[in-house]
Amino acid sequence: MKKTYYLFNPGRLVRQDNTLKFIPVNEDGEEEKPRFLPVEGTSDLYIFGSLDANSALYNFLAKNQIMVHFFDFYENYTGSFMPKDYLLAGKMQVEQTLAYAQSEKRLAIARLILEGASYNILKNIRYYNSRGKDLETEIERIENLARQIPESNQIEELMGIEGNIRQVYYIAFDKILNHLQMGGRTRQPPLNEINALISFGNMMCYTTCLKAIHHTQLNPTISFLHEPGSRRYSLALDLAEIFKPILVDRIIFRVINKKEITEKDFSKELNKCLLKEKGRKKFISAYQEKLKETIKHRTLKRNVSYERLVKMECYKLSKHILNIEEYKPFKIWW
């Protein structure tokens, strides 16, 4: 099974025969002992430090279908190197474009995506409510907002509902978390520890969805809930709405309440709070464990990993677009 590799240190990445060689560079600019990454066992790379590479290297990565995701100094996702879409199909491109262009079809898919996201959010809150956290008010408010989804006739209305659900959901964070508090959502830059974790985790979920889309016939630039825009893969944003409560929020609740990540894992500067390298590694480790974790699928009757669930969501959406089978968003049943 192919693995994801995370490069935190600055360095140089080169091809050596049929292997990737990463040469870390220390603070004095001196090269350290190289590390070798097996090409056949690599699915994608996450780059958090400065990387020196040439076009020959990227040609080699593309031929082996290895994606590269880049993050800046402030942990912001800046973009991905995407190999050529090797599974693109003309019929899917046409049908996906038509599904977006026809307002009723687009609206129907957007509603389903938001219904899945709101259901998974409610599942999280109900879990903690059943364990002594007083979240009845938040549950009722989100349920009332979710009832508006089928009645919405415009994408703008759906995005407004999504924003309101998230606002109430984030209020619940401060009741669920035992140690650190969120105190409202702040972005670019995040102002406290919980906001830093949410921003970082959401970017991880986005790239997971983007990776899954790349291995299907879907076009990542044509979305339904979020508006397609230049220089972004907006379909990954759509799918991330469904999986953020599962892959990101549940990890945040766990690592904070069990003190696996503490204030010591963050760096606070003027008007921003960022994860230190040690904190990033802790979160990534928990995230990778979550992706590999399996559940017994009710339809397939076998164990399926969370990472596989994301790819299956792409297949379900593909079948809906091709009028093969009606799309039903993933909803937690446990």
Task: Give the pLDDT confidence of 232-277 residue by residue, as tens digits.
Answer: 799 999 999 999 999 999 999 999 999 999 999 999 887 889 999 9
CB atoms closer than 10 angstroms to residue 276 = 12
Please report the DSSP string for 269-323 in residue order: ETTEEEE-HHHHHHHHHHHHHHHH-EEE-TTT-SEEEHHHHHHHHHHHHHHHHTT
DSSP 260: S
170, 173, 179, 183: CA torsion to nearest 10: 20
What sign results for the dihedral spanned by CA atoms 52, 231, 209, 174?
Answer: positive
Give the residue extent of every domain in the chain. 3-81, 90-321
pLDDT at 333: 83
- Across the range 210-231, mean pLDDT stands at 89
In the chain, the N- to C-terminal Cα span, in Å, equals 27
**Confidence band for 185, pLDDT divided at 50, 70 and 90:** confident
pLDDT at 26: 86
Taking the C-alpha atoms of residue 173 and residue 184, their distance in angstroms, rounded to an integer, is 9
pLDDT at 112: 98
Taking the C-alpha atoms of residue 221 and residue 60, their distance in angstroms, rounded to an integer, is 25
Please report the DSSP string for 7-75 in residue order: E-S-EEEEEETTEEEEEEB-TTS-B---EEEEGGGEEEEEE-S-EE--HHHHHHHHHTT-EEEEE-TTS
**Confidence band for 90, pLDDT divided at 50, 70 and 90:** confident
Q: Is the pLDDT of residue 88 over 80?
A: no
Q: Is the pLDDT of residue 151 over 80?
A: yes
CB atoms closer than 10 angstroms to residue 72 = 11
Average pLDDT, the chain: 92
CB burial class (10 A; 0-12, 13-18, 19+) of residue 89? Answer: middle
Q: Please give the backbone phi and psi of residue 77, each rounded to the nearest 5 degrees, phi first.
A: -70, 125
pLDDT in tens, 1-23: 789 999 999 999 999 888 999 99
pLDDT at 1: 72
pLDDT in tens, 119-139: 999 999 999 999 989 999 999
Fold of the domain built from segment(s) 3-81: Ribosomal Protein L15; Chain: K; domain 2 (3.100.10)
- Return the minimum-mean-pLDDT range out of 17-21, 25-29, 140-144, 147-151: 25-29
Model-level pTM? Answer: 0.91
Fold of the domain built from segment(s) 90-321: Four Helix Bundle (Hemerythrin (Met), subunit A) (1.20.120)
Taking the C-alpha atoms of residue 120 and residue 135, their distance in angstroms, rounded to an integer, is 15
Taking the C-alpha atoms of residue 8 and residue 282, their distance in angstroms, rounded to an integer, is 13
Instruction: Give me the half-sphere count of Cα atoms (radius 13 Å) on the Cβ side of residue 156.
Output: 0
**Confidence band for 328, pLDDT divided at 50, 70 and 90:** very high
Q: Is the pLDDT of residue 223 over 70?
A: yes
When comparing pLDDT for 299 and 319, which is higher?
319
- Across the range 292-301, mean pLDDT stands at 87
Length of the chain: 334
Same fold yes or no, 3-81 and 90-321: no
pLDDT at 87: 66
If we measure between CA atoms, which residue out of 332, 301, 114 comes closest to residue 226?
A: 114
